[in-house]
Chain A
Amino acid sequence: MNPSTKIVQRKEQNMKVIDIVNWENTTLLAGKDACEKTISGAYSSDLLSDVMGNADENMLWITIQTHKNVAAIASLKELSCVVIANNNIASAELIEAAESEGIPIISTSMSAFEFGGRLYQVLHS
């Protein structure tokens, strides 16, 4: 095999949850076995019906909501993972539900705006 093929730049189509976990200022809180999931895009909202109505499969969800229903929505919508912005603390019930549903929950010190901006650059560069 051509050695140059080993150097693979991750493109939009194959960005994975683990790539986000490996960023500085992010911490994985739950769902470590589901980090190979692909991220197709992202949706940023704290209104749950907005996410239910408008987010799509395999999207990363940026929010400051920390209760258990976040896991239910991520699971029903088959989102790739949830990023809790601004160091908001995920509830124990959310962590437990996310573990059993296999949904990665990632905490970040970045605001939703900063995180979203950075992710947008990576996905659309």
Chain B
Amino acid sequence: MELKYKIQGGNFNRAGYASSEVKKVLKQLNVDPKIIKRIVVALYEGEVNIVAHAFNGLATVTIDAEKIKIVLKDSGPGIPDVEKAMELGFTTASPAVREMGFGAGMGLPNMKKNSDFMEILSTVNVGTEVVLMNYFSK
């Protein structure tokens, strides 16, 4: 099964839409609720990252019998230093975004913590691609 969700940069009103839809699908597929919770956290943070930093993006979600693979690909500023971006508390979010309670430097660490596999490929001034995978069995 493949699902695609467009994510618009700057539009916080829609942040969480993909996560909410994917959650419904996983519930219907009777995936373990604990695993669904982790996937929802990781995907939500990925959505917010695109909304907060990029111009636009696409979440491609592939679900098979044993796992879910989420590819979040955006056109945007890219991440100059991925290792630095992964540090808890490091952020480049704007003051407006931070005032909303986003941009605390917890998004990428939350994604790492809540996925079984995470990979970031980024090119400055082009965009970022984040691949997340979660397995349905323990």
Contacts and interface: CB of A to CB of B under 8 A. Distances in A.
Interface of A: 46-50, 52-53, 57, 63, 65, 67-69, 72-73, 75-77, 93
Interface residues of B, number: 22
Interface stretch (B68-76, B77-85, B98-106, B125-133): B98-106
A49 B101 CA distance: 8
Interface stretch (B1-9, B15-23, B55-63): B15-23
Interface string B15-51: 1100110010000000000000100110011001000
Contacts of A76: 16, 19-20, 23, 40-41, 44
B113 interface: yes
A57 B37 CA distance: 9
A49 B12 CA distance: 14
B20 A49 contact: no
Contacts of B114: 53
B13 A53 contact: no
Nearest to B113: A53
A82 to B, nearest CB: 13
23 contacts: A47-B101, A47-B104, A48-B100, A48-B101, A48-B102, A49-B45, A50-B104, A52-B45, A53-B41, A53-B106, A53-B113, A53-B114, A65-B101, A68-B12, A69-B16, A69-B100, A69-B101, A69-B102, A72-B20, A73-B44, A75-B20, A76-B20, A76-B41
